[in-house]
Amino acid sequence: MGKFDGKVVIVTGGTSGMGRGIAELFAAEGAGVVISGQHLERGAEVVAGIQARGGAAIFVAGDIATVETNQHLVDTAVAEFGGVHLLVPNAGILGLGGVLDGTLDIWQRTIDINLNAVYYLIKLAVPTMQNSGGGAIVINGSIAAYKGFPNHPAYCASKGALVSLTRQLAIDLAPTIRINVLCTGQVDTPLLWKSAQAFPDPATAVQEVAARMPLKRLGTPEDIARAVLFLASEDAAWITGAALTIDGGITAG
């Protein structure tokens, strides 16, 4: 038996990196998984891999920044699996560009995906979650909520807002729905390497970050997935409104 047998989870941005690791681990623990993304081939690949291992998953293509895509995710979860118990708003973009050289379009697109899309999914899914008996929400945030990074103003602002949103919604959604946010550090994913492009020597910058960590390595998608499943599980039944830092210790010093 899996820890999430009979549960249904929506994972946004589930076709690569942390989102893929989260989706795969939920499926391995028995959950029905609805994955969102914009790349049809990658989505099909993730679903096929989950199904080949005996799991249950379906992919929904679309722009997560729109209300329509978020509604489609909820509707698909209900139609395919009978309800929604768990949400993992994970999709995010970097929105690279400083306050002077970045465009207003970059700012708006980053806020739309990293913040507004999270709100849309929660707003649209909560009634179904309540009808399903309640559940848990785990937002994938970032240590950028607390720490500035060069040329990441929109990203840092959006991630900081997610911490405040989590604390507020913990009050509104209790006692039937718990909500927490992970403040993740540097995880070895395509997004990290894209972020490193803000530095003159990206490879050296990534190596230096790993060396500065007390645990002396980058995070892996599996590290994050295990933390998400903990917060979504009954093992975390008395945890809500929390921002859990998971960063190899880099913000400890």
Structure tokens of 192? 């990290």
What integer pLDDT is reported at residue 239 of this predicted model? 98
What integer pLDDT is reported at residue 203 of this predicted model? 81
What's the average model confidence in pLDDT over 67-85?
Answer: 98
What's the average model confidence in pLDDT over 214-239?
Answer: 97
What integer pLDDT is reported at residue 11 of this predicted model? 98
Instruction: Answer whether residue 207 shows pLDDT above 90.
Output: no
Given 3.40.50.720, 3.40.630.30, 3.90.1150.10, 3.40.50.620, which CATH number is that of 8-246?
Answer: 3.40.50.720
pLDDT digits (tens, 9 = 90+) for 137-181: 999 999 999 999 888 999 999 999 999 999 999 999 999 999 999
Selected catalytic residue, list 119, 120, 146, 155: 155
pTM: 0.95
Going by pLDDT thresholds of 50, 70 and 90, the confidence category of residue 234 is very high
What's the average model confidence in pLDDT over 199-222?
Answer: 87
Instruction: Answer whether residue 195 shows pLDDT above 90.
Output: no
Instruction: Answer whether residue 83 shows pLDDT above 90.
Output: yes
The question of whether 120 is a catalytic residue gets the answer no
Q: Name the residue ranges covered by the structural domains of the chain.
A: 8-246
What integer pLDDT is reported at residue 106 of this predicted model? 97
pLDDT digits (tens, 9 = 90+) for 53-67: 999 999 999 999 999
CA distance 160 to 143: 9
What's the average model confidence in pLDDT over 119-143?
Answer: 98
The total of other beta-carbon atoms located within 10 Å of residue 56's CB is 16
